[in-house]
Structure 1
Amino acid sequence: MKRGTTRSAWLRGIIAGMLALQLAIGTWAGSVWAADASVNPQPADPAAAAPTRAQLDEALGALQASLANANPVSDWVALGLARSGKSVADRYLPQAAKSAGDGSLRLVTDYARLALAVNANGGDARKVGPNGLDLLGKIANFDKMTAQGPNAPAFALLALDAGNYPAPGSKDRWTKDALIQWLVDNRTADGGWSLVPGKSDVDITGIVLTALAPYYDKNAAVKAAVDSALGWLSGVQKPNGGFGSPESSESSVQVLLALTSLGIDPVQDARFLKNGKSALTRLMEFRQPNGQFAHLPGGKGDGLASLYALLGLTAVERWMDGLPGLYAGQPAGQQVQVTVTGPNGKLAEAAVNGRSGMELFVETVKRNHVPYEVVRDPQYGAYLTSVSSFKNGQFGGYDGWQYAVKRGGQWLAITQGLSAFVPQAGDQVFIYYGGTTALIHSIKVEPAAAREGQPIQVTIEKEVYDWDSGKADVSPAEEARVSLGGVSAVTDKEGKATLRDVPKGKHTLVVDGYRTGGAPAYVAVEQPYTVASYVKQVSVRVEGDQRTIAEGTARGGTALEALEAMLKAKQIGYEVKETSFGKYVSSIGGIQAGKFGGYDGWLFAVKDGGQCMVPAEGIGTFLLDDGQELVVYYGDNTKLAEPAAVTPQQPKPGQPVTVKVTYRDMNWETGKLQDPKPLAGVKVSAGGAAATTDADGNAKLSALPEGVHTVSITGYTDGKAPLVVRTVSKLTVAASYNDQNAVSVWAADSVRTARAAGILNGPADSLTAFQPKEAITRAEFVAALVRAIGLKPAAGSTFGDVSPKAWYAKEIEAAAKAGLVSGVAPGKFAPDAKLTREQAAQLLTKALKLTAATSTALVDGQQVSRGAMPAVQAVLDSGWMTAYEGKFAPKQSMTREQAAVVTVKVLLKPGIGKLGA
């Protein structure tokens, strides 16, 4: 259907073809464009004032909402939505990739259109589609560049500029300079440009002016050509502010694109005001009640005209915001992190692209739906006046919106406005409400990687730029608030703050200077910080002034956590108090600190590998390690005994035993223990025998029977705290087998302990010979495991091949009833079968409920049965069995001395073995 004159319809068809729109009038129907007289109705007065920012926002919002539903998304729709802050890159870029590879690109304007849209949506126009098509390279080497008149050179120049195409040199057919020169040389006689010879055309002149805009101040010939064309445009503007012959909304749009690209006020520049009306005012008069825009005056809503309106209104809003022109482009892949903070908190943040600081800001607040106001000053340019509800000067001084940039870890000295600032990839841009607000120079966190329950000290430095010296003054940041994981503290005069009880997890460490009734003292900054989960398995003893109150195993990160866990499990009352120095235990089991009227109270020590230490920090902060023993004791000047020295080291039944008790004082200045000293006057008992240490710390015990005895050292006294913390250790008294010399050195102690504890004797429980190198039977190993764990023997006949009269019968039955064994077949145990190492691993894993946290590579891993591999990995990971030179030897029989080592480990393991308490 024809619209207007034949010439104008032809021109519009050319431009529409260039745009390659996939829009049709029908796509604008439905609820999105339902007529509503309340939607920005036309002003009755033709001399109405220029549209307000709110009216522009509303008009743009309606256009965005409808165009966003287009499917597929055309190149120009994608460009318009992206530049207006409503990117559809997730839908558009895959389409663009397809277009780049399907052979549909023929004209230079096809390549330019695609390049502009890809760039606006964050893509790289140098590498598009499955084959990485270089659109800009294609444009720069296009042979028939001028076949479309000024259109192709103009859009080629726009695309090359948007994509920041480098100065290519002589190898390219069309450099930017060549395109500029061609456009300057091919004007019409009246100063503008046209597709056909004759008079200049508004639309084509607008397109060329938009392309030449970046070079206005750089090239004298361009300046002269642009000034001439602007004069012509001003002269052909209609009395109602519109453009075109016949007049159309699209012509007004092209003028608005040109003016805003050149930095000319599209609303108030006197050259483009007719009877008080601008091109923008006239464009808005084409808007229909349903939000569409008409092509011709008095016409109906039109899809192409509405798309043009999106581009034009977007260009005007970008100009109002101090942003580059519509086609200015974005640096491909140049993400900049932007944070916007108000007087009392963060307002918006995003990783965005942009060619100016103001563009980064606008993109960030739009993504976060935060309102803002920008004013363009004729002298100072665009600047922020309001973000969210916070306006400049709201605290009555020179406070207002400012910005700072961190590049390469250093703050830049800011000497230009936000609109003039050119960002670089990796920059961190902070837009903040401030007054004499300082920047955070450094944040030092100790420890660098904290564990749960560990105090965290943060040291902050600030910096203030001294314009006289040209340097930043760095000093401690006093009264900065530090927050981490819900815990906050304020820095002291040295810029230090201590955070306690920060929960485990990945947190954000925030440093800010927000304050009531004034601008922040510091620009808020953030950095990630992780507090690791820290829970350990330890043994715990609580020693009172006259007896042991409790002992057992517990889990906890700090000494206090482990203590509380055990006391709660045993339902023993306690009390913990907190002072400025930290937490301390004031009562356990009804025994209050200060019971004897002095400095007596609840203290703690930690044993690790037999070595006892008194930590130089409180019980609430001391971090434990797996396998340690925590001793909480009531004391005053109470000593901590060293591991007792026994003579002879391997006593036999009937031999007298001497136990030497020593202790070490702590040198708190050096942080080291002093040399051992004898501890006199304390009681030593074992196996029913007892003695008191002499001046040399020696206690002589009468002959002890065979067994694994507990040696107890105590120093209880009436009316005061104990002389020594109760200390216990194991002492093995055992006779020798007649083949003792055949036992390997690494197994000797375990064989003696196994005999003394009665868990694994010689074959058939013989006390004469041990036969260490012989293979252990299934019955012997299971019986030893049952005894080591401490299961009570049981009567019964689960397995038909286990005689009730056999020495191992009750142990096998106990294991069956406890679910530790299930036999080799229904009702069959095979007690006399030799036990392989992988079978031993399976029995241990089931009995001790083991799992593997890590996997060990084995040289002979292929030999391990598939069903046994999880058990083999479990016993290796937990240390119950070992591989020799990377070999586990799964099919070899376990020897009796190997079995002694394993079962004694079980016997003495806290929380598992019979003697592990």
Structure 2
Amino acid sequence: MNAEKDMKETRGIRGWLRGALAMIVALQFVAGAWTGVAGAASDDSAGGAKASIRQQVGQAVDSLQALLGKTQPPSDWVAFGLARSGSPVGSGYLTAAAKSADEGNLRLVTDFARVALAVNAVGGDARKVGSGKTDLLGKIANFDKITAQGPNAPAYALLALDAAGYVPGANDKWTRDDLVKWLVDRRTADGGWSLTAGKSDTDITGIVLTALAGYQDRPEVKTAIDEALKWLSGVQLANGGFGGAAESSESTAQVVIALTALGIDPVNDARFSKDGKSALTRLLEFRLADGQFSHTAGGKADGMASYYALLGLTAAERWLDGLPGLYAGVNATAKFPVTVNGVSGTVATGTATGKTVLEALVNVLNASKLAYKVERYSFGPMLTSIGGVDSAKFGGYDGWNYGVKRGGAWVTITEGMGTFAPKAGDELVVYYGSGETSLIHSVKLDPATPRAGQPVTVTVEKEAFDWDKNKLVVSPAEGVNVKLGNAAAAKTDKDGKAALTAPQAGTFALAIDGYRADAVPTVVAWSAPVKVATHVKNVSVRVEGDASATASGIAQGGTAFEAIEQLLKAKGVKYEVQQSSFGKYINSIAGIAGGKYGGYDGWNFAVARGGDWVIPGVGADAFLLEEGDEVVIYYKGDATLLADPIVPSPAKPKPGQAFSVTVTNRAWDWENGKFEAAKPIAGAKVTVGKASAVTDANGKASFPGQAEGYYKIEVTGYAKDAAPSVARSVTALPIAGAYKDQSAIAAWAADAVTASRAAKLLRGIGDGTETFKPKQAVTRAEFVSALARALGLNGKPATTFKDVPAGVWYAKDVYAAVAAGLVSGVSANAFAPDATLTREQAAILLTRALKLKATANAELADAKQITPSAVSAVQAVIQQGWLTPYEGKFAPKATLTREQAAAVIVRVWHASGK
């Protein structure tokens, strides 16, 4: 690291270093197969000598990368050169740099600057180096004797601060302005710079010009630069080289670095081209057959000359490619996703850093081993080819363009990619197109979350900037290709809409493009991941026969048919399915087949949703369910009616309070697509507990007050030797008193708490009716007892827990749950009845009680907090809707409140057929 402290302090220092380094590096180099480089003539044409020079530079850089990269870890300048030329450096360098900082090996300002430049180029943070988090930039800005080394140190200090984007401190001893002024004021009489008084030195002048390049918009700096360039031009040798009688490849490389930093053509600028020989062509003439470089013309391989050549040629290569200068720096914290779309598809993708769009693109193309061409014009660099596809492929003004998406919207582009500086978070898209090619403005899906195997409509809008009217124009993207995963592709219509069928559940790429044969694309290709949901919903199902109820319970399914079939299988009820031109339907259930009564009677279905009936216009196998639906499949004759959902009057009668039930039906008007007015159903039998009544002409049946309990209002219209006049319907009627703290119960939980009290599942504290304490954590005894009651468990204790005495109110239920294998003690002799229950523990109990299994995994932000043995249980209860995440989190270690427990237990009770 310290053997190369300064690239140029004095000729003497370089002299003795050269000898040592040449010997060390020569031992590590392996001869390459390169056979030499011929000098190239200057040429302003886009394709001639420039292309030849570019090729020669690229070959030379490749060889130097391979040779210098063999030493690990590399020295500071070699690491810097490798990184800036796009070659991997490896983690060993940053480790070595950290060690150097920690051990106090950095003393001079050039030490700090050199390491800061290398660390930044490799992708590290020059403000936090080593275990001591040394701020190299802060050290530079507060270095007492920063000018003691002459112009060399302030110049490299300025380069290091600028490269890493140093944010100055309020009390810094040296600011950028201070450094710039000091350098401008310390010119020699002939216009350049030198380490000592007297004539200007080529190397030092080159270093200072490079440092001042970023400030040449300042008049005093521009004047100084112009005078220095005039001096440099005057001392250039006839062969294009620099260094006077002591001409060296290092001096020439330093000038190439300076010229490119200033934006000066290193080959064709008239000031630095002597008889067609430039500094760059002269530098290439120092290259030896094995790829190394010599210090002097005709000399031997030299280590310092080789890495200087890498720096100079990298600077030239970057200039030829339209990239920022050698010392422009790397913003390691801002990496940009880059997508390159060609004439028929994506040709490259990647993530890269870059001061400009072009630099980020070139980094991705190099990583992808994809050839490209950049040509320099008076207005700047222009990308003319990628992967063998040249501009004007289709004979017009087509070529390589770019777009930048920022904050979800496209940025209006007013400059070339060689000067556009992206910001953190930007997405970069390079594409082949023309004025006919538009950007995708928006993509909308209906439904927003497609469902497996179901139709989905994709609406695409495009945008283009109207420069004449100075506004953005958004319009439907007609005729573009739309594809979702492996589903069949479609084209958008005049409204920008495309109809697709969603693939099976999973995450797929929604891809939109405007590719077409033998023409530029109409839109820039666009893609985004889209999640296709498994269309499985948790619903309740009732099967109502012609003379009695057949089965009921909780089921899952995407369609009504799937849910009905799952319930029938779970309950062991035999059924028959028939296939017709309009889909599958169930013809027979429990031996009751369609046409039993000699007419068009048979099995029909309807869905109760949100307190109202949904009259399906499609078969059960095509009707999509929603969460919480109630599917009713019932035996229907010509005159069988569906009773409207029953609401007693009063809606929530108290114990002992008389109430009435009115039964009505609303016929569906198929022509107008709506329900007709409600009409009373007379003669229907209504049963509440042990009491029953028949509806009068107004559809009304009255009942005396009932004791506290959980009742069901059952409406039937069974008939002898005929299909029912009214399909059986059942409505829950919990009748219960209020707790003293009833007002503390959340609105969403109030009905469940009432039902739980009425059904004697989870009641008030101590199984009483005084207070409920809804926000209090439920205990193991309370939840297990309620679960056993909901499932109707009975059983004698197989073990005796010392903390569950026989006379306590929950003893029977706890022992029944233990006997059923739903729960065990915390030890052989202890149950811990008063311990609170966590959400993941509740998930385990529910999974055992209901025999739940997970068939998919929900993505949870706090998944790592779930106990491994509880993961499958948590996923099962989430998937089937027993417990739900909130904002992507399950909170497995949070306790379950009593009101939450009541809601879960009532659902379990209903699922068990109660």
Same fold (TM over 0.5): yes
Secondary structure in 2 aligned to 1:148? Answer: coil
Please tell me the residue identity of whatever aligns with 2:642.
L
Please tell me the residue identity of whatever aligns with 1:232.
G
Query: In structure 2, what is the equivalent of residue 74 of structure 1?
Result: 75
Is this contact kept in 2: 1:60–1:314, CA < 8 A? yes
Matched, 1:604 2:606: yes
Query: In structure 2, what is the equivalent of residue 624 of structure 1?
Result: 626
Query: In structure 2, what is the equivalent of residue 229 of structure 1?
Result: 231
Please tell me the residue identity of whatever aligns with 1:466.
D
Query: In structure 1, what is the equivalent of residue 322 of structure 2?
Result: 322
Query: In structure 2, what is the equivalent of residue 203 of structure 1?
Result: 203
* 2-structure distance, mates of 1:516, 1:288: 49
Please tell me the residue identity of whatever aligns with 1:380.
F
Q: Kindly tell me: are residues 732 and 195 of structure 1, through their superposed partners in 2, closer, same or farther at Cα, counting changes over 3 Å?
A: closer
Please tell me the residue identity of whatever aligns with 1:372.
Y
Query: In structure 2, what is the equivalent of residue 343 of structure 1?
Result: 343
Q: How many residues align?
A: 813
Query: In structure 1, what is the equivalent of residue 495 of structure 2?
Result: 494
Within-5 A mapping of 1:654-665 = 661-665=663-667
Matched, 1:423 2:422: yes
Matched, 1:413 2:412: yes
Secondary structure in 1 aligned to 2:474? Answer: strand
Please tell me the residue identity of whatever aligns with 2:321.
D
Matched, 1:104 2:98: no
Q: Kindly tell me: are residues 260 and 792 of structure 1, through their superposed partners in 2, closer, same or farther at Cα, counting changes over 3 Å?
A: closer
* 1-structure distance, mates of 2:20, 2:639: 91
Please tell me the residue identity of whatever aligns with 1:562.
A
Is this contact kept in 2: 1:206–1:254, CA < 8 A? yes
Is this contact kept in 2: 1:788–1:903, CA < 8 A? no
Query: In structure 1, what is the equivalent of residue 520 of structure 2?
Result: 519
Query: In structure 2, what is the equivalent of residue 460 of structure 1?
Result: 460
Secondary structure in 1 aligned to 2:239? Answer: coil
Shift of 1:318: 0.4
Q: Kindly tell me: are residues 382 and 905 of structure 1, through their superposed partners in 2, closer, same or farther at Cα, counting changes over 3 Å?
A: closer
Secondary structure in 1 aligned to 2:148? Answer: helix
Is this contact kept in 1: 2:8–2:152, CA < 8 A? no
Is this contact kept in 1: 2:21–2:302, CA < 8 A? no
Q: Kindly tell me: are residues 670 and 300 of structure 1, through their superposed partners in 2, closer, same or farther at Cα, counting changes over 3 Å?
A: farther
* 2-structure distance, mates of 1:823, 1:418: 69
* 2-structure distance, mates of 1:46, 1:463: 46
Q: Kindly tell me: are residues 22 and 493 of structure 1, through their superposed partners in 2, closer, same or farther at Cα, counting changes over 3 Å?
A: farther
Secondary structure in 2 aligned to 1:221? Answer: helix
Within-5 A mapping of 1:277-426 = 277-331=277-331, 333-377=333-377, 379-426=378-425
* 2-structure distance, mates of 1:135, 1:102: 14
Q: Kindly tell me: are residues 108 and 370 of structure 1, through their superposed partners in 2, closer, same or farther at Cα, counting changes over 3 Å?
A: same
Q: Kindly tell me: are residues 784 and 606 of structure 1, through their superposed partners in 2, closer, same or farther at Cα, counting changes over 3 Å?
A: closer
Matched, 1:85 2:91: no
Shift of 1:384: 0.9
Within-5 A mapping of 1:511-550 = 511-526=512-527, 535-541=536-542
Is this contact kept in 2: 1:167–1:176, CA < 8 A? no
* 1-structure distance, mates of 2:905, 2:327: 76
The partner residue of 2:716 within 692, 713, 717 is 713
Shift of 1:222: 2.0
Q: Kindly tell me: are residues 815 and 412 of structure 1, through their superposed partners in 2, closer, same or farther at Cα, counting changes over 3 Å?
A: closer
Is this contact kept in 1: 2:644–2:666, CA < 8 A? yes
TM-score by length of 2: 0.70
Q: Kindly tell me: are residues 391 and 559 of structure 1, through their superposed partners in 2, closer, same or farther at Cα, counting changes over 3 Å?
A: farther
Shift of 1:374: 0.9
Shift of 1:319: 0.9
Shift of 1:481: 4.1
Please tell me the residue identity of whatever aligns with 1:40.
W
Shift of 1:40: 1.7
Please tell me the residue identity of whatever aligns with 2:373.
E
Encode CA deviations 1:429-480: one digit per residue, 9 max, x unaligned.
Answer: 3221112111233345566667778866554332221121111222223334
Shift of 1:605: 0.8
Is this contact kept in 2: 1:485–1:503, CA < 8 A? no
Encode CA deviations 1:814-833: one digit per residue, 9 max, x unaligned.
Answer: 9887546889999x999xxx
Shift of 1:68: 4.2
Shift of 1:136: 4.4
Secondary structure in 2 aligned to 1:405? Answer: strand
Query: In structure 2, what is the equivalent of residue 641 of structure 1?
Result: 643
Query: In structure 1, what is the equivalent of residue 866 of structure 2?
Result: none
The partner residue of 1:35 within 31, 43, 51 is 31
Encode CA deviations 1:221-265: one digit per residue, 9 max, x unaligned.
Answer: 22431332232242x2437x5766444332332232123223333
Secondary structure in 2 aligned to 1:516? Answer: coil
Please tell me the residue identity of whatever aligns with 1:524.
A
Is this contact kept in 2: 1:511–1:525, CA < 8 A? yes
Instruction: List alignment gaps of at least 5 residues for structure 1.
Output: 1-7, 651-656, 734-744, 758-769, 802-809, 854-869, 880-885, 891-897
Is this contact kept in 2: 1:168–1:175, CA < 8 A? no
Shift of 1:315: 1.0
* 1-structure distance, mates of 2:528, 2:549: 48
* 2-structure distance, mates of 1:253, 1:371: 26
Shift of 1:320: 0.9
Matched, 1:264 2:260: no
Is this contact kept in 1: 2:712–2:730, CA < 8 A? no
TM-score by length of 1: 0.69
Please tell me the residue identity of whatever aligns with 2:357.
G
Q: Kindly tell me: are residues 507 and 817 of structure 1, through their superposed partners in 2, closer, same or farther at Cα, counting changes over 3 Å?
A: same
Query: In structure 1, what is the equivalent of residue 806 of structure 2?
Result: none
Q: Kindly tell me: are residues 717 and 381 of structure 1, through their superposed partners in 2, closer, same or farther at Cα, counting changes over 3 Å?
A: farther
Rg larger in 1 or in 2? Answer: 1
Within-5 A mapping of 1:433-832 = 433-435=432-434, 436-444=436-444, 458-484=458-484, 486=486, 490-497=491-498, 500-501=501-502, 509-526=510-527, 535-541=536-542, 552-557=553-558, 559=560, 561-563=562-564, 565-566=566-567, 574=577, 585=584, 603-606=605-608, 612-614=613-615, 620=622, 622-626=624-628, 628-632=629-633, 639-642=641-644, 661-665=663-667, 676-680=678-682, 696-697=698-699, 711=714, 713=716, 724-728=726-730, 789=791, 818-819=820-821
* 2-structure distance, mates of 1:9, 1:587: 91
Please tell me the residue identity of whatever aligns with 1:227.
L
Query: In structure 2, what is the equivalent of residue 762 of structure 1?
Result: none
Shift of 1:643: 5.0
Shift of 1:88: 4.0
Instruction: List alignment gaps of at least 5 residues for structure 2.
Output: 1-6, 43-48, 653-658, 704-708, 736-750, 762-766, 771-779, 803-811, 853-857, 859-872, 885-893
* 2-structure distance, mates of 1:678, 1:9: 103
Shift of 1:172: 4.8
Shift of 1:15: 4.6
Secondary structure in 2 aligned to 1:849? Answer: helix
* 2-structure distance, mates of 1:688, 1:287: 107
Q: Kindly tell me: are residues 798 and 291 of structure 1, through their superposed partners in 2, closer, same or farther at Cα, counting changes over 3 Å?
A: same
Shift of 1:528: 5.8
Q: Kindly tell me: are residues 911 and 478 of structure 1, through their superposed partners in 2, closer, same or farther at Cα, counting changes over 3 Å?
A: same
Shift of 1:537: 3.3
Q: Kindly tell me: are residues 715 and 85 of structure 1, through their superposed partners in 2, closer, same or farther at Cα, counting changes over 3 Å?
A: farther
Q: Kindly tell me: are residues 78 and 633 of structure 1, through their superposed partners in 2, closer, same or farther at Cα, counting changes over 3 Å?
A: farther
Shift of 1:908: 7.9
Encode CA deviations 1:513-547: one digit per residue, 9 max, x unaligned.
Answer: 33333222222345565566674433334568999
Moved more, 543-552 or 470-479: 543-552
Encode CA deviations 1:714-739: one digit per residue, 9 max, x unaligned.
Answer: 568999x9764443568999xxxxxx
Encode CA deviations 1:117-154: one digit per residue, 9 max, x unaligned.
Answer: 24434455566566665544544554434433332233
What's the RMSD between the two structures over aligned residues? 6.2
* 1-structure distance, mates of 2:161, 2:376: 28
Q: Kindly tell me: are residues 157 and 633 of structure 1, through their superposed partners in 2, closer, same or farther at Cα, counting changes over 3 Å?
A: same
